[in-house]
Structures are given as C-alpha cells and as structure tokens.
Amino acid sequence: LRSGVDRLGDLIAAARTIVPFTGAGISTECGIPDFRSPGGLWTRNRPIPFDEFVASQEARDEAWRRRFAMEPTFAAAKPGRGHRALASLYRAGKAPAVITQNIDNLHQASGFAADHVIELHGNTTYARCIGCGETYQLDWVKQQFDADGAAPDCTLCAEPVKTATISFGQAMPEDAMQRATELAQQCDLFIAIGSSLVVWPAAGFPVMAKNCGARLVIINREPTEQDDIADLVIHHDIGETLGPFVGN
C-alpha cells in the first residue's frame, strides 16, 4: 500500500486539475452500505425501477417505507476520511468539483459547495415531484404518509413525489451529465473511488477521461472492469488510502 499511496501522492502533486469520481464505497465507513458488496443493499432488496414507481401506488408506498427505514442511517452519517481528503483537494484549488454516483449528500457535508458536487444519480436527502419538479422535505412526506397510510402526491400537480434520486429506467439529469463530461475531458488526473464501475452511463466517465489524455487512478477494494486501462490501481480500503491526504 505504501508505494501505491506514494505514487498517488506524486500524481496528485503533478496534476493541474484533478477530478474525483465517487461511488458507494467511499461512504461505507460512514455506515451507509453499498449495493454490491456482501451484505450490500441489493442482497436484501431488489431496486424498484422507475416505471414501476410511476405505475403503482403499492410500489411507491414500498419505496417510501424503505427510505424511511434508512433515515436513521443517512441522518447519522458524517463524512469519512475519503470525503475529507477530497474536500482538502477542493479547498487547495486542485479539484474544481467532484462527480458522484452517491445520493447521500456527504460531499456537501465535507465542505464542497453544492454547485461543485455533480450528482449523477440525484440526492436522497430531499424529495421531488416527478411531474413538475417541485421539491419537498422528507419530513413533509413522512407526515403525509403517516396521516394517509400512503405515499403522497404533489400538492401542485398531483403527480407522485419521489426521493430526488435517479432510479433505474429514469432519465439521467442532463445538466449533471454535461458538466461531468466537460470535467472528464478537461482534467489531467481522474480518480475513481469506491465504485464497481458497472452502472452506465456513469461508468463511462473514467474511460472518457482516459481517452482524453488524463491519468486514471482507481481506488477500490475489489477489482473493477476498468482496472486494465488505469495508470494506477489501489485495491485497498479507501479511508486508509486517502487518510494521508486529509487536511493538506
């Protein structure tokens, strides 16, 4: 590990523009389970696709029941060493923004301005109407759910209210995709952290950065499908790997 961290340090020192790209693995040390590790969320619950959420009140009720069950976990989570190390690079002016697949708001909590967190899969800490886009606090959704015994609809347009996340089958957010594309094309160091790199189109960004001339680093406990195109691969714990970069 020592030499991996040293080489990462050299690449960071030499880089002009670093773009970190994060997945669920950066938040496991914060108590939020990932999807695909043993014991991850998928081994317990099949995800509810978007068309099912739209079509069925039962599916919406189930989605919200699951979300409320996760609330103590999300509410208690604090940024980990990985988040803090990236925030240090951001403060130092080395990383203009972070691209994330995560929905847990922990990059914002670690010090990134909200505008500099490019959320490819949205955010689960608030809700949004799938029709008109009106936003709602989760507390409001919970109150309505408890009062009616069912997931609420938008008070403005009567379409369903959903966590502000992107489900399978739902369109990707155009603005975030555009900004992530520009960052991947312009950076000279792209660091993929804690992602199995199997969810597309998000997994296309490391390849894009590499094709546009950036060095590519992958930090993940398990091998990923893109390890063979990376300049440096560190198969190790994220907190331990990035811990030395906190606070510079």
- The answer to whether the annotation marks 203 as part of a ligand binding site is no
Measured between alpha carbons, how far is 169 from 177 in angstroms, rounded to an integer? 16
Residue 136 pairs in a beta bridge with 127
| 119 near ligand NAD, rule: CB under 6 A | no
| 25 near ligand NAD, rule: CB under 6 A | yes
Among 18, 24, 180, 216, binds ligand NAD (CB under 6 A): 24
- The answer to whether the annotation marks 100 as part of a ligand binding site is no
Residues 128-167 that bind ligand NAD (CB under 6 A): none
Q: In terms of CB distance, is 27 or 144 closer to ligand NAD?
A: 27
Measured between alpha carbons, how far is 93 from 103 in angstroms, rounded to an integer? 24
- The answer to whether the annotation marks 176 as part of a ligand binding site is no
Q: In terms of CB distance, is 55 or 198 closer to ligand NAD?
A: 198
Active site residue 235: no
Sign of the alpha-carbon torsion through 228, 200, 63, 52: negative
SS3 content of the chain, % helix, strand, coil (to 5): 45, 15, 40
In one-letter notation, the amino acid at residue 95 is A
- Encoded one letter per residue, x for contact with ligand NAD by CB under 6 A and - for no contact, window 84-103 reads -----------------xxx
Pseudo-torsion of CA 235, 240, 242, 245, nearest 10°? -150
* Residue showing the smallest CB distance to ligand NAD in the complex: 25
Q: How many CA atoms lie within 13 A of 220 on its CB side?
A: 26
- How much is the CA Rg of the chain, to the nearest whole Å? 18
Among 11, 15, 32, 183, binds ligand NAD (CB under 6 A): 32
- Which tokens in the block code for residue 57? 């009140």
- The answer to whether the annotation marks 121 as part of a ligand binding site is yes
Q: How would you classify the pairing of strands 161-165 and 135-136?
A: unpaired
DSSP string of 173-193?
PHHHHHHHHHHHHH-SEEEEE
| 70 near ligand NAD, rule: CB under 6 A | no
Using CB under 6 A as the binding criterion, the count of chain residues that bind ligand NAD stands at 27
Q: Contact residues for ligand NAD (CB under 6 A)?
A: 23-25, 27-29, 32, 34-37, 40-41, 101-104, 121, 194-196, 199, 220-222, 237-238
User: Which residues does the annotation place in the binding site?
Assistant: 24, 28, 35-36, 101, 103-104, 121, 129, 132, 154, 157, 195-196, 220, 237-238
Residues serving a catalytic function are 121
